[in-house]
């Protein structure tokens, strides 16, 4: 089916009125997105994931890398139904339930419709709801890329996930266990049972115990908290281990990272955000078999997007926050 021409149909979308706090997000009626007629798809959005990355974009912290135009629509994690496709698209069909990571600089998933190059989306695992599927792309791809591609997690490895109760941490624990690793994770007391349910062999109460006082000889650390917590995790590692840090600009980390690497004989690798549909391909059978499961979800309607951002900025959410669009 060839792409329809946008003839001015309207949709509800969250627009960013300008960099600032969560109140700069507003639900408005805007034009549906255009779609390239050969290699793109138009998605009827059912759910959109909310990530800390979204809040950083909103506040302007990343504007040197991603300068957003006025009225930009945020949202990288999308789940919905293909309602139109370009004439060269073979990856998906009209009517397919799909999910994926949208381009940061294009209108995003906080809307009733989104367009995207077809290569960025994949058919959803058959057993996931739209809300569950929208929780997967950024968080799960980040965890997989770090643990599997950068650190070669596998049997016999000892893994520490610093921040096991959040979105990336929820997937990291499961992925590491699937590949045969022993996994410890930090969490607050109220999230301990949840983190244990994901498969963690040991749960460390970070409010009372430093990771290095609870575990030693760690091969791989996925560090999701930052600051002094990040630096303290080096002390739990064995020489030759790999420290994985999600891309961020914490000056405490940057200033001390090289010294900590040399002191403990480890390598630090930065896990940068990237759209990796090939990772979604690898994870799909794991979701469908039950080897991986969606994290705990906090589902809010599109109209409560500002509240969703306020919650994500606390850094204390359990699992993932998802916006229900329809």
pLDDT exceeds 60 at position 1 = no
In a domain, residue 164? The reply is yes
On whether both 127 and 150 belong to a single domain, the answer is no
What pLDDT shows up at residue 136? 97
pLDDT at 17 over 50: yes
Question: Based on the structure, what is the number of domains in the chain?
Answer: 2
130 and 17 inside one domain: yes
pLDDT band at 5 (very low <50, low <70, confident <90, very high): very low
Distance CA 249, CA 278 (A): 27
Same domain, 157 and 126: no
Whole-angstrom Cα distance, residue 171 to residue 12? 31
CATH number at residue 91: 3.90.180.10
Whole-number CA gyration radius for the chain: 20
Confirm whether 129 is domain-assigned.
yes
Nearest of 250, 279, 179, 167 to residue 220 by alpha carbon: 179
Same domain? For 199 and 251 the reply is yes
Percent of the chain scoring above 70 in pLDDT: 94
Q: What is the pLDDT at residue 299? A: 98
Query: Residues near 291 by Cβ (< 8 Å), separated by ≥ 6?
Result: 174, 178
pLDDT at 260: 82
What local confidence, expressed as pLDDT, does residue 259 receive? 81
pLDDT in tens, 43-68: 999 999 999 999 999 999 999 999 99
Residues 71-129: tens digit of each pLDDT: 999 999 999 999 999 999 999 999 999 999 999 999 999 999 999 999 999 999 999 99
One domain, residues 99 and 23: yes
Please tell me the predicted confidence (pLDDT) of residue 264.
85
pTM above 0.85, yes or no: yes
pLDDT at 249: 60
Q: Is 42 within the bounds of a domain?
A: yes
In tens, the pLDDT along 210-236 reads 998 999 999 999 999 876 777 788 999
Say what the pLDDT of residue 246 is: 85
Starting at the earlier edge strand, list the strands of the sheet with 182-187: 202-205, 182-187, 158-162, 218-223, 237-246, 267-271
Would you report the helix, strand and coil content of the chain in percent, each value rounded to 5? 35, 30, 40
Decide if pLDDT at 3 tops 50: no
Mean per-residue pLDDT of the chain: 93
Largest Cα–Cα separation, the chain: 63
CA atoms within 13 A on the CB side of 285: 4
Residue-range definition of the domain harbouring residue 42? 10-136+295-324
132 and 142, same domain (yes or no) = no
Does residue 112 sit in the same domain as residue 154?
A: no
Q: Same structural domain for residues 146 and 213?
A: yes
Q: Helix or strand or coil: residue 193?
A: helix
**Residue 288 is assigned to a structural domain of this protein:** no
Question: 39 and 122 share a domain?
Answer: yes
Last residue of a domain, one of 255, 271, 287: 271
Assess if residue 89 is contained within a domain.
Answer: yes
Same domain membership, residue 212 and residue 301: no
CATH of the domain at 218: 3.40.50.720
Counted residue by residue, the chain has a size of: 326
290 is a domain residue: no
CA torsion through residues 86, 2, 130, 323, sign = positive
Residue 255 predicted with pLDDT over 90: no
pLDDT, tens only, 174-195? 999 999 999 999 999 999 999 9
Shared-domain flag, residues 24 and 113: yes
> Which of 227, 256, 271 delimits the end of a domain?
271
Q: Is position 180 within any domain? A: yes
Average pLDDT over residues 262-288: 90
Residue 280 lies in a domain: no
Domain co-membership, 147 together with 132: no
15's enclosing H/E stretch is: strand 10-16
């Amino acid at each position: 089916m060839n792409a329809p021409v946008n003839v001015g149909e309207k949709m509800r979308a969250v627009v960013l009125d300008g960099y600032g706090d969560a109140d700069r997000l507003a639900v408005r009626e805007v034009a549906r997105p255009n779609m390239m007629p050969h290699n793109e798809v138009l998605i009827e959005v059912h759910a959109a994931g909310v990530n800390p990355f979204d809040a950083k974009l909103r506040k302007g912290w990343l504007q040197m890398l991603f300068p957003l135009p006025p009225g930009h629509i945020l949202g990288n994690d999308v789940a919905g139904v293909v309602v139109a496709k370009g004439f060269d698209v073979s990856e998906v069909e009209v009517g397919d339930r799909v999910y994926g990571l949208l381009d940061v600089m294009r209108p995003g998933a906080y809307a009733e419709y989104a367009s995207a190059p077809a290569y960025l989306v994949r058919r959803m695992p058959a057993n996931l709801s739209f809300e569950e599927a929208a929780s997967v792309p950024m968080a799960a791809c980040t965890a997989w890329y770090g643990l599997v591609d950068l650190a070669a997690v596998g049997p016999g490895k000892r893994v520490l996930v610093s921040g096991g109760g959040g979105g990336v941490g929820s997937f990291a624990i499961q992925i590491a266990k699937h590949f045969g690793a022993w996994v410890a994770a930090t969490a607050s007391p109220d999230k301990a049972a949840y983190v244990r349910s994901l498969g963690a062999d040991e749960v460390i109460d970070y409010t009372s115990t430093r990771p290095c006082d609870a575990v030693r000889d760690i091969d791989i650390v996925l560090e999701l908290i930052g600051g002094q917590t990040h630096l303290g995790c080096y002390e739990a590692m064995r020489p030759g281990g790999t420290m994985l840090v999600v891309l961020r600009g914490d000056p405490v980390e940057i200033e001390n990272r090289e010294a900590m690497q040399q002191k403990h004989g480890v390598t630090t690798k930065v896990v940068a955000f990237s759209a990796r549909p090939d990772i979604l391909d690898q994870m799909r059978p794991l979701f469908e078999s039950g080897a991986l499961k969606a994290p705990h979800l906090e589902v809010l309607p599109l109209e409560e997007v500002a509240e969703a951002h306020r919650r994500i900025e606390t850094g204390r959410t359990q699992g993932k926050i998802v916006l229900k669009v329809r």
